[in-house]
């Protein structure tokens, strides 16, 4: 069985596939944005309930922010790998 596809068609299909894959990979960035909002919303709520724990709560909020943002950066990295490889 022999396939006689033109090189332009194959390149176009590959480009469409890469674009769709990169677009789907960036959905993780929306999740990172929601996660950051939840982290800092919880910080504000906690500080309203117990202001004396500000230092300890802020450290935990920064840790949560860093981990959440790392997931977003991994999603962005995967999108770029899909798009440019």
Domain residue spans of the chain: 22-84
**Fold adopted by 22-84:** F1FO ATP Synthase (1.20.20)
Residue 8's contacts (CB-CB under 8 Å, 6 or more residues apart) are none
Residue 6's contacts (CB-CB under 8 Å, 6 or more residues apart) are none
Give residue 3's region: left, alpha or beta (phi > 0; psi -120 to 50). beta
- Model pLDDT for residues 37-77, shown as the tens digit of each residue: 999 999 999 999 999 999 999 999 999 999 999 999 999 99
- Model pLDDT for residues 8-46, shown as the tens digit of each residue: 888 889 999 999 999 998 888 898 999 999 999 999 999
State the first-to-last Cα distance of the chain, in angstroms, to the nearest integer: 29
For the whole model, what pTM was predicted? 0.74
């Amino acid at each position: 069985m022999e396939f006689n596809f033109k090189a332009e068609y194959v390149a176009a299909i590959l480009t469409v596939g890469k674009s769709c894959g990169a677009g789907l990979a960036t959905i993780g960035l929306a999740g990172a944005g929601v996660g950051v909002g939840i982290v800092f919303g919880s910080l504000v709520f906690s500080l309203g309930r117990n202001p004396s724990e500000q230092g300890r709560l802020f450290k935990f909020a920064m840790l949560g922010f860093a981990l959440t943002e790392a997931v977003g950066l991994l999603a962005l990295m995967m999108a770029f790998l899909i798009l440019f490889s």
